[in-house]
Structure 1
Amino acid sequence: MEDRIAQIQEHDLRTVWKNEERDFTQWLAKNVELLGSELGLELEDARTEAAVGDFSSDIVAREMNTGERVVIENQYGRTDHDHLGKLLTYSAGKNAEFTMWIAEEFRPEHRSVLEWLNESGPKDVKFFGIKPRVVSIEGSDARGFEFDVVVEPNDWKREITNESLTETQRSYREFYAQLIDAYADHRPGWNKLKPGPRGYLTFSAGMTGVSFAWVFHQGPEFAVELYIQSGEPERNMAVFDALDDQSGEIESNLTAELVWQRLPEKNACRIKWPKPIDGKITELDAEQRTDLIEWGVEAMDDFQDEFEPRISSLTLE
């Protein structure tokens, strides 16, 4: 019997999500990390129908590492002027650093508008055109889903690769790439991240605005930490205080002395487990980096096990 390759078939979004607002938008908000993964971002805190004057944007989210605002406008079918106007209104109203138009088909003139905005528009705003695709293999009823990025900032691919990076940025990216692989091997089931050219790497702690992180600090030091920054200062402090009340038991279980920091100037809080190091990332030799990765894996494993159940059981008034 001769083998043959089955055809990929594409389907309307309505075959899976009947209604754009009630079904697809709600699903995307709950699974916004899938969109972030496609773009090399870590998106969280996605909220639907966020008010902008008399209007409301489909989804507003934040980039976990930077706290930058993300506005997402969804549209079934072909793009139109009405949704373009909404997209720009919401982006301006929310002071978004990332503006994403998700549609099944982009008219050439609307792709040109997004490309022009990336070229000549606000310098601090990145515009994306993204096509969501529901696909299946010929003869199968099972459905798959993917994003196809049709418009992105001109320098986006270069920005998230090693091109044009400084020595320090390349060192961070290489270090965290090795750390990610090591932690994924140590902790099966952990969702692997994409390393960035920054001195920190974060992932969700299971509560909006609360993240685990590996971070290089001045000192110099390397730390595993819990960072609390939800955008609501009173809530941040409530989470911090609830955990601080358990600090004695936490430090005893970890056999470590943690640093508990209220950061009012940042409207945030931090709980960190630091380790002094001999120099900046570019000054560490291969053996020192390997030792630091081993410590980072073991410390984060214990840290995550200690804090995750406590965070999940918090009841905030």
Structure 2
Amino acid sequence: MIGFRREDDEIEYLEEVEYSEEHLEDDLHKVIHSDPRLVMGTLTTRENVVLGSKLQLPTGKEPDLLVCDKRGTLTTIEFKRDRSPRSAVTQLFDYASSLARMDQDEFFDLTDYESLEELYGAFDHEEDSEFDIDDFEREFTEGLESPQLMLVAYTMTDDVRRMTRWLRDAHDLKINCVEFDYYEKNDAEMFVPTIIGADETQEIKEQEESPKQKKYRRFFGEVLERFKEELPGVTSRSASSDSWLTIPAGHTDVEFVWHFKGDPGDKEFHVVMNFQFDESAQNEEMLETMQSAIEDRSLDISGEIHSEEYGSSGYTRLYVKREVGPLDDALEDEDLKVWAVDRLVEFHEQLTPVLNEELQ
């Protein structure tokens, strides 16, 4: 059972049930199609889009879902509503081998996007100006030749766990299983996913990283561990090779971010609070609320507060910043690392209560 407490201190409970008792496989498909973060969340902090559902490949096979993130990483997903048969792993291999025979034009003829340029444009790349469409195409091409594979099921059998572990360890194949617990009460449902093999997959990805990506991972790995010591339980996230790292704020449409900005030899480091609601008016309102709270409540936020609208969706953010210079300097700058952790701790401790009040 899972218990959760409401404002009146009353604890309510959700009871775990077998998903397959009341649901068809298509139901699970629809849930993840509507928001791939449910299974992709701990494998990548990046935005993901669905390229297509039940696309018919040249072999006649139809993968349940094809997903791409803003770096061009392609993931093929297969769903099973109850136990995972070992044949599902073979299905994933079949999909991957079919994709590997296709060129870009053939692939996009099948998807909801007409071209690589259109897919690249579906993401907001302002956060990572160093990563251009050539980088995206390189990552996407590699993914088409060898996509990331994912099997999602209510229960993952021992033989499937053993097979996929061997494929990761012995053959560096990026294949993961996602097992989920399912709870329900009246009109409430809760999905609790567990990604099996995430650490091994991350190690495979790290072997493929460029020197610059390894530098980002090293820096964020250090500051993230210090942040976890300061505020235990806030995040279980691992460091990434992106020029930014997000930290949850407790609400889907709000996040904290550490972010390197600027040219390779002239970097700034930002500590950010992003507002990413669907309505631009709400993003503007939340920004103004936070700015007023900092001023009216005399919150203990160090440094000059900057704010802006960003992207094409009306998102807003507030942030503090610090000059860095070359990325190599940041790796050895102990003062910067202390500053980065202290500022994010301040943001989280001071601004999260205001956020909770507004979104209650």
Q: Structure 2 length normalisation: TM-score?
A: 0.56
For the 8 Å contact 1:173–1:196, the answer to whether it is kept is yes
1:41 to 44, 61, 68: 44
For the 8 Å contact 2:268–2:323, the answer to whether it is kept is yes
2:97 is aligned with 1:116: yes
Q: Deviation digits for residues 217-271 of structure 1, max 9, x if unmatched?
A: 1252212111223444343233223333434236653143210112264632121
> Hey, what's the Cα distance between the residues in 1 that align with 2:99 and 2:222?
33
Q: CA deviation at 1:87?
A: 3.9
2:18 is aligned with 1:18: no
> Hey, what's the Cα distance between the residues in 1 that align with 2:351 and 2:60?
46
> Hey, what's the Cα distance between the residues in 2 that align with 1:191 and 1:252?
23
Q: CA deviation at 1:167?
A: 2.1
1:227 to 247, 271, 274: 274
Report the equivalent of 2:328. Answer: 282
Change (3 A) 1:211 1:99: farther
Change (3 A) 1:72 1:127: farther
Change (3 A) 1:127 1:168: closer
Q: CA RMSD in A?
A: 4.3
Q: CA deviation at 1:183?
A: 1.0
Report the equivalent of 2:79. Answer: 102
Report the equivalent of 1:134. Answer: 155
> For residue 41 of structure 1, what is the amino acid of its counterpart?
T
Map 1:144-183 → 2, pairs under 5 A: 146-147=194-195, 160-161=205-206, 163-183=207-227
* Paired residue total: 255
Report the equivalent of 1:249. Answer: 296
Q: Deviation digits for residues 21-57 of structure 1, max 9, x if unmatched?
A: 599679979997673366x213xxxxxxxxxxxxxxx
Change (3 A) 1:200 1:237: same
SS of the residue aligned with 2:358? coil
2:243 to 199, 205, 209: 199
Q: Percent of pairs identical after alignment?
A: 14
2:49 to 63, 66, 69: 69
> For residue 326 of structure 2, what is the amino acid of its counterpart?
K
Q: CA deviation at 1:119?
A: 1.9
SS of the residue aligned with 1:272? strand
For the 8 Å contact 1:224–1:272, the answer to whether it is kept is yes
Q: Deviation digits for residues 273-310 of structure 1, max 9, x if unmatched?
A: 11222x22223453x1x322211111111111111111
Report the equivalent of 1:55. Answer: none
> For residue 269 of structure 1, what is the amino acid of its counterpart?
T
Report the equivalent of 2:62. Answer: 84
Report the equivalent of 1:51. Answer: none
Change (3 A) 1:204 1:190: closer
Change (3 A) 1:146 1:215: closer
SS of the residue aligned with 1:160? helix
Consecutive unaligned residues of structure 2, counting only runs of 5 or more, are: 1-15, 108-136, 159-179, 182-192
